[in-house]
């Protein structure tokens, strides 16, 4: 699976006003890239939020929901959705540790 930073806003550039809209943006942007990756693509029901956007976990349902360690994805990739633009951006967790520490849980 190849990860990339989206250059196009979700839903025609509309503002992202809810975590559910952020989940949809991640599913639309990253779901098609899942391809033959083991497991079933899933966007988590729980995430994090700050004033700028959402952190939206995604991966194999077998890991995120069922807890099967055979489906963990290593590498520390995380996904943010910008509230103002709808842009989906994949980054590395350690590069965003300070921001993540200040975010609030959202569902």
Which pLDDT tens digit goes with each residue over 72-84?
A: 877 778 999 999 9
In this predicted structure, the answer to whether residue 4 has a pLDDT above a threshold of 70 is: no
What's the pTM?
A: 0.84
Q: Looking at the domain assignment, is residue 43 inside a domain?
A: yes
Q: Is residue 2 part of a domain?
A: no
Residue 105 has pLDDT above 90, yes or no: yes
- Parent domain of 21: 10-106
Confirm whether 42 is domain-assigned. yes
pLDDT digits (tens, 9 = 90+) for 33-64: 999 999 999 999 999 999 999 999 999 999 99
Q: Does residue 16 lie within any of the structural domains?
A: yes
Query: Considering the domain boundaries, does residue 83 fall inside one?
Result: yes
What does the DSSP 8-state code read for residue 86? -
On whether residue 1 sits in a domain, the answer given is: no
Assess if residue 38 is contained within a domain.
yes
If pLDDT is split at 50, 70 and 90, which confidence band does 2 have? very low
Residue 3 lies in a domain: no
Q: Report the domain count for the chain.
A: 1
Could you tell me which residues are beta bridge partners of residue 80?
55, 89
Let me know: does 54 contact 80? Beta carbons within 8 Å.
yes
Structure token pair of residue 57 = 């976990």
């Amino acid at each position: 699976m190849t990860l990339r930073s989206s250059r196009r806003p979700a839903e025609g550039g509309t503002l992202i006003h809810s975590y559910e809209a952020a989940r949809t943006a991640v599913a639309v942007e990253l779901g098609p890239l899942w391809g033959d990756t083991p497991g079933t693509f899933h966007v988590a029901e729980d995430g994090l939020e700050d004033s700028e956007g959402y952190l939206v976990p995604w991966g194999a349902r077998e890991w995120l929901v069922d807890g099967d360690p055979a489906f963990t994805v290593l590498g520390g990739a995380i996904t943010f959705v910008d509230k103002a633009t709808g842009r989906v951006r994949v980054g590395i967790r350690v590069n965003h540790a300070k921001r993540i520490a200040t975010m609030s849980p959202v569902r």
